């Protein structure tokens, strides 16, 4: 997409999107194939530009019209949820399109990533598990990358962690499901997100991120304790392989976590702390204890 097509003032994209939103607000029945084309051919391509209006200000060219774009996408998704049609799913189409428009590491567009995370949060509030099942893994991987990457700007990490503060979204991804297949997806979410949260919480210099990561871990444990325990044990087992000499597995470095319960920069909140202990020095005798600090 050229700069002319990407939303510069020559074509007044924001005004056109406001007009489109007004038109969509007048729809009361089931969506037509034309409406799916609007999402596919108009709205999703407007997410793709990675240029800046002014490099000096680091203002992405999608920013001037982004609020109106989010409203149009949300309106079409709401209409499709209210009057579902056979075949295409508007929300599934949206997720695929936005994830494919995400800036690469080389493109380094922090403000665009923050905007896309904001939009994903708004749209996830409209979704149920059936809507996200097909794109569950893609969004999970993108979310984990935003949280756990050491190369990411702190603004991206914070915005990704803020999504966990929304209880409805946390329940959507973490709570037990009715079918075994869906529970496998939830387990994969824990196995992907828990290491990202733990590593970011331990490695970051930012106390706010440490606290947010700890609160997210605590929420994951509360929503699905059994899966949380399994994912934590698997994470530490992989990170602590047995040595070639047949010695017990090397313990992970918990100095950042288990220093002091009331330490201001500790990873986990005062209510919960994860401690790994070796109870017996057998070949693979590593046991994990989850200790509630409030009980001491």
pLDDT given at position 17: 94
Residue with tokens 């709570």: 175
102 in the same domain as 1 = yes
Tell me if 159 is assigned to some domain: no
pLDDT given at position 153: 84
186 in the same domain as 121 = no
pLDDT given at position 280: 32
pLDDT given at position 23: 92
189 in the same domain as 118 = no
Tell me if 19 is assigned to some domain: yes
116 in the same domain as 12 = yes
Tell me if 196 is assigned to some domain: yes
95 in the same domain as 30 = yes
The span from the first CA to the last CA of the chain, in angstroms, equals 60
Q: What is the rounded (10 degree) CA torsion for 73, 75, 76, 77?
A: 80
7 in the same domain as 114 = yes
Domain end (from 85, 111, 127): 127
Tell me if 135 is assigned to some domain: no
| Number of domains within the chain | 2
183 in the same domain as 87 = no
Tell me if 114 is assigned to some domain: yes
**What angle do helix axes 136-148 and 180-203 make, rounded to 10 degrees?**
10
278 in the same domain as 184 = yes
210 in the same domain as 120 = no
Residue with tokens 């909140």: 269
Tell me if 168 is assigned to some domain: no
123 in the same domain as 1 = yes
Q: Contact at 8 Å (CB) between 51 and 61?
A: yes
Domain end (from 127, 142, 165): 127
Per-residue confidence in pLDDT tens, the chain, 296 aa: 444 444 444 457 889 999 999 999 888 888 889 999 999 999 999 999 888 887 676 788 899 999 999 999 999 999 998 888 777 889 999 999 999 999 887 778 889 999 999 999 999 999 989 888 888 999 999 999 999 876 668 999 999 999 989 999 999 999 999 999 999 999 999 999 999 999 888 888 889 999 999 999 999 999 999 999 999 988 887 655 543 434 334 434 433 433 333 344 444 443 333 433 333 323 333 333 333 333 33
The pTM is what?
0.77
Query: How far apart, in whole angstroms, are the C-alpha atoms of residue 77 and residue 217?
Result: 30
Parent domain of 24: 1-127
H helical segments located in 207-273: 207-223, 225-239
26 in the same domain as 88 = yes
Tell me if 259 is assigned to some domain: yes
207 in the same domain as 115 = no
Domain end (from 94, 127, 160): 127
Query: How far apart, in whole angstroms, are the C-alpha atoms of residue 9 and residue 17?
Result: 13
pLDDT given at position 109: 86
Tell me if 150 is assigned to some domain: no
Count of helix runs (H) and strand runs (E) in the chain: 12, 4
């Amino acid at each position: 997409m050229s700069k002319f097509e990407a939303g510069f003032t020559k074509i007044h994209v924001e005004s056109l999107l406001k007009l489109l939103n007004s038109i969509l607000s007048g729809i009361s029945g089931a969506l037509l194939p034309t409406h799916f084309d609007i999402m596919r051919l108009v709205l999703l391509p407007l997410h793709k530009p990675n240029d800046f209006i002014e490099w000096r200000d680091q203002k992405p060219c999608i920013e001037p019209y982004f609020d109106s774009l989010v409203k149009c996408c949300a309106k079409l998704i709401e209409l499709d949820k209210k009057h579902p049609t056979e075949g295409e799913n508007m929300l599934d189409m949206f997720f695929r399109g936005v994830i494919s428009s995400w800036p690469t590491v080389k493109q380094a567009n922090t403000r665009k990533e923050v905007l896309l995370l904001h939009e994903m949060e708004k749209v996830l509030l409209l979704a149920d598990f059936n809507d996200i099942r097909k794109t569950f893994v893609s969004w999970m991987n993108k979310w984990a990358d935003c949280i756990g990457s050491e190369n990411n700007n702190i603004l991206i990490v914070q915005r990704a962690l803020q999504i966990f503060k929304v209880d409805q979204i946390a329940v959507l991804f973490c709570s037990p499901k009715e079918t075994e297949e869906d529970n496998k997806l939830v387990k994969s979410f824990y196995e992907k997100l828990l290491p990202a949260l733990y590593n970011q919480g331990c490695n970051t210099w930012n106390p706010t991120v440490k606290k947010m990561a700890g609160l997210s871990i605590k929420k994951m444990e509360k929503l699905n304790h059994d899966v949380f325990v399994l994912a934590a044990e698997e994470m530490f087992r992989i990170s602590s392989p047995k040595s070639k000499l047949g010695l017990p597995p090397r313990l992970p470095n918990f100095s950042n976590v288990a220093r002091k319960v009331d330490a201001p920069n500790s990873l986990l909140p005062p209510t919960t702390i994860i401690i790994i202990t070796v109870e017996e020095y057998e070949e693979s005798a590593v046991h994990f204890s989850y200790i509630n600090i409030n009980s001491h």
